[in-house]
């Protein structure tokens, strides 16, 4: 990444933020991700949680019933977050350090999502 790059998260994050309730069926989370062409949703009743395509794939691989299991059963908890004013090179470093592909953007409340795809598009 260009060390002189001063692009902030707010310039590349995905908005509006897509959310889902913790008690929604996994099938609904999968349907929403597929229909909206996104790979993660912030869980509104989870307190710092998201559900990703990887979480759903893991549930399918484990034989979970997508109509019986709910988001709370497989969501990723205690997710790292970033602020809108953070520089993109810092986001890339955080994703590498934590081994994640999604970071919710928080400014008093959740305002967006930045993904590894956003980072890759920013670099191209």
Residues 22-73: pLDDT tens digits?
999 999 999 999 998 999 999 987 678 999 999 999 999 999 998 899 999 9
26 prior amide bond cis, ω within 30 = no
Using CB atoms within 10 Å of the CB of residue 65, give its burial: 0 to 12 exposed, 13 to 18 middle, 19+ buried.
Answer: exposed
- Sort residue 69 into left (φ over 0), alpha (ψ -120 to 50) or beta: beta
Q: How confident is the model at residue 104 (pLDDT cuts 50, 70, 90)?
A: very high
Class of domain 9-123 (CATH, top level): alpha beta
Residues 58, 76: Cα–Cα separation, whole Å: 12
Segments in the chain forming alpha helices (H): 9-12, 26-36, 53-61, 71-74, 88-98, 116-123
Q: What is the pLDDT of residue 45?
A: 78
Q: How far apart are the first and last CA of the chain?
A: 10
């Amino acid at each position: 990444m260009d060390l002189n790059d001063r692009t902030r998260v707010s310039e590349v994050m995905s908005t509006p933020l897509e959310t889902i309730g913790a008690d929604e069926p996994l099938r609904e989370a999968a349907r929403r991700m597929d229909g909206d062409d996104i790979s993660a949703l912030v869980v509104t009743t989870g307190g710092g949680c998201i559900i990703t395509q990887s979480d759903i794939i893991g549930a399918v691989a484990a034989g979970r019933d997508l109509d019986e299991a709910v988001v709370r059963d497989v969501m990723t908890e205690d997710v790292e977050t970033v602020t809108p004013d953070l520089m993109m090179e810092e986001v890339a470093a955080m994703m590498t350090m934590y081994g994640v592909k999604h970071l919710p953007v928080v400014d008093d409340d959740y305002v967006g999502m930045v993904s590894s795809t956003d980072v890759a598009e920013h670099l191209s």
